[in-house]
Structure 1
Amino acid sequence: MKEPNIVVVGSLNMDIVIEADRAPLEGETIMGNHSSFIPGGKGANQAVALAKLGAQTTLLGTIGDDPFGTSLLRSLKDSGVETGKVKEVDNNPTGIASILLAEGDNRIVVVPGANDDCLPDDIKEHEELIEKADLVLLQLEIPLATVTTAAKIAKKHGKTVILNPAPARSLPEKLLQNVDYITPNQSELGILSKMDQDRFDLQKAMEIVQESGVDHVITTLGSEGAVYKSQESAVKTTPAHQVPVVDTTGAGDAFNAGLSYAIGLGKELSEAVSFASKVSALAVTKFGAQAGMPDRKEVEAFDAPPFNHNGTVN
């Protein structure tokens, strides 16, 4: 079986992770339990996850000329990601993300740094990589103009485009009309659909996004699993899995990588979403977004029971 060739266009950050028993209240200082410096960034995380699954993976992004950037490149190479097209700049430091882990959840603040220097011209310079790829995976931690350019070039060459619309923001139709699959969580879906939260309807919100030109909407719902909808089809559900949670930081990135890998292999959407759900479940059982990403053998051997929507186990 031929492994998919996937280009990821996205961010590289150093995650500065603080573990504590709880999050501080407004104006409060508390003592933490542990700190770590861990390679991250949504683009880099998804690229590592794809490479570990077996995809031929190339990352387009930008780092600073500093120790964090050097460390990030080393981690990517060690995971099997092609990093030869990652740009280095000396006018902006490598991006960082401050992550607080407490009570089984995370709170994240991202400072983009050099990620802001990932520009449309950089994508145009490497158009031949996209032309040779099977699929392009995008997120929103780099300039929106760059994401839009990458999607446009990918569609010009008839490539599948998957967009993980995080961090959440409203998106122009000129981007969405070049996206085949979009993967918001519920809050991101609310922003994309511009639907009043007091009258939020999941299926209607997904239909609104599809009206912008996206063929497939996949919405992740945390412990309730994921729902997905193609044009002219009803909403379908894939349950989450019961696993011991260690670190949720890379869960969304694992899901997007798993979905992209399966779509790149030519799997039907239902099978791809199920595969992505397993990748995400395995990722949260280990510490660190990139270190926790499973390989394909782990995913295929995974047999944790799924949850029902009422929270019980099937």
Structure 2
Amino acid sequence: VQLTRAGGGPAATAAVTLARLGVPVAFVGAVGDDPAGRSILRALADRGVQVDGLRMVPGARSPESIILVDESDGARAIAAYAGTAGGPSVDRDVERLCRGARWVHLDHIGEPATRVLRRLLGQEGDGTGPRWSLDGGNHIDGLGLAGLDLYGPTCATLLARSASPSLDGALQAAIDEGCGAVVATRGRHGARALVSGERPFSIAGFTLPVISTLGAGDVFHGALLAGLLDGRDLAEAIGRANLAAALSTAALDGRSAIPTRRELDRAWVAQRSEAGTSHEAATVSGSP
């Protein structure tokens, strides 16, 4: 039996991934002023994430989880405590952070707190604001996709919020709702994606030895944004994100095996050489 204590959370782990891949990144959130909260802040800062936007709420308890990982296949069961610190507070400093970013990535905690800010920046219409990405792996009450540049649900959560019985129908429904692109993750099978005005496509995953799948989806989203920030097209960015997520499963926790940019570059070249095909040849159009 292995026992470890580590940081987690969708947006937080995506931020750590961006930092590992050499992207300057800041995290906005809220924790208690308890030992867990101080540990959360320290873990992010130690991995290169700017934490000026992480609010410590006096007297509040920080979110914590107990996670059991199955040795046979790396699957996990999670018992989560949300804490009492609440969501991020969108003040002038946070608004300034968002205005200065190229992308703002949200999870189920950050999305509701930023709705007013997103509408405000969207109404300015001068093209100077950030692009908005959402990790849609968890249910979000009152979620609307209009104004999102990138929506990243799991296939299960995408289908659950759509009237369409087919994955491609659900992808199109999300586009019709107003987002620019949808990338639905399929675990080890990769991802299915659709950009507004184009056809859906699939990018295969990678089969690597697995210790734990904890946080792999969060790593995927961070690496996907890193690829887009590098100027890569969506298909290649998804492929590299699939590989980063697969590499991250080599550790029990969701962070210690996240690759650096150099490690991901080397693994990417090695995987493409082993496959003996171009990345584009691994892109499959039509039904998944």
Is residue 44 of structure 1 aligned with residue 12 of structure 2?
yes
The root-mean-square deviation of aligned C-alpha atoms, in Å, is 2.1
Equivalent position to 1:160, from 131, 145, 149: 131
Residues 241 and 231 (structure 1 numbering): CA distance in 2 closer, same or farther, change over 3 Å? same
Equivalent position to 2:210, from 241, 245, 253: 245
1:98-137 equivalences under 5 Å are 98-102=66-70, 103=72, 104-119=74-89, 122-137=90-105
1:202 corresponding residue in structure 2: 167
**Overall identity of the aligned pairs, in %:** 25
Indicate conservation of the 8 Å contact 1:62/1:114, yes or no.
Answer: no
Indicate conservation of the 8 Å contact 1:130/1:154, yes or no.
Answer: no
TM-score, normalised relative to structure 2: 0.86
Equivalent position to 2:43, from 72, 75, 85: 75
Deviations 1:198-240 (A, max 9, x none): xx21110100111110110111111211111111211111111
Is residue 186 of structure 1 aligned with residue 151 of structure 2?
no
Equivalent position to 1:219, from 178, 184, 195: 184
- In the alignment, the residues of structure 2 paired with residue 263 and residue 257 of structure 1 have an alpha-carbon distance, to the nearest angstrom, of 10
Residues 117 and 100 (structure 1 numbering): CA distance in 2 closer, same or farther, change over 3 Å? same
Indicate conservation of the 8 Å contact 2:100/2:130, yes or no.
Answer: no
Displacement after TM superposition at 1:144 (Å): 4.6
- In the alignment, the residues of structure 2 paired with residue 275 and residue 148 of structure 1 have an alpha-carbon distance, to the nearest angstrom, of 30
Residues 222 and 279 (structure 1 numbering): CA distance in 2 closer, same or farther, change over 3 Å? same
- In the alignment, the residues of structure 2 paired with residue 143 and residue 164 of structure 1 have an alpha-carbon distance, to the nearest angstrom, of 10
2:52 corresponding residue in structure 1: 84
Indicate conservation of the 8 Å contact 1:95/1:113, yes or no.
Answer: yes
Residues 287 and 171 (structure 1 numbering): CA distance in 2 closer, same or farther, change over 3 Å? same
Indicate conservation of the 8 Å contact 1:181/1:215, yes or no.
Answer: yes
Q: Which amino acid aligns with 2:147?
A: N
Indicate conservation of the 8 Å contact 2:4/2:253, yes or no.
Answer: no
TM-score, normalised relative to structure 1: 0.79
Residues 34 and 285 (structure 1 numbering): CA distance in 2 closer, same or farther, change over 3 Å? closer
Q: Which amino acid aligns with 2:21?
A: L
Indicate conservation of the 8 Å contact 1:170/1:192, yes or no.
Answer: no
For 2:258, what is the secondary structure of its paired residue?
A: coil
For 1:37, what is the secondary structure of its paired residue?
A: coil
Is residue 263 of structure 1 aligned with residue 231 of structure 2?
no
Residues 147 and 166 (structure 1 numbering): CA distance in 2 closer, same or farther, change over 3 Å? farther
Indicate conservation of the 8 Å contact 1:50/1:257, yes or no.
Answer: yes
Equivalent position to 1:93, from 53, 56, 61: 61
Q: How many residues align?
A: 267
- In the alignment, the residues of structure 2 paired with residue 258 and residue 208 of structure 1 have an alpha-carbon distance, to the nearest angstrom, of 25
Q: Which amino acid aligns with 2:200?
A: V
Indicate conservation of the 8 Å contact 2:34/2:60, yes or no.
Answer: no
- In the alignment, the residues of structure 2 paired with residue 281 and residue 222 of structure 1 have an alpha-carbon distance, to the nearest angstrom, of 9
Displacement after TM superposition at 1:159 (Å): 1.5
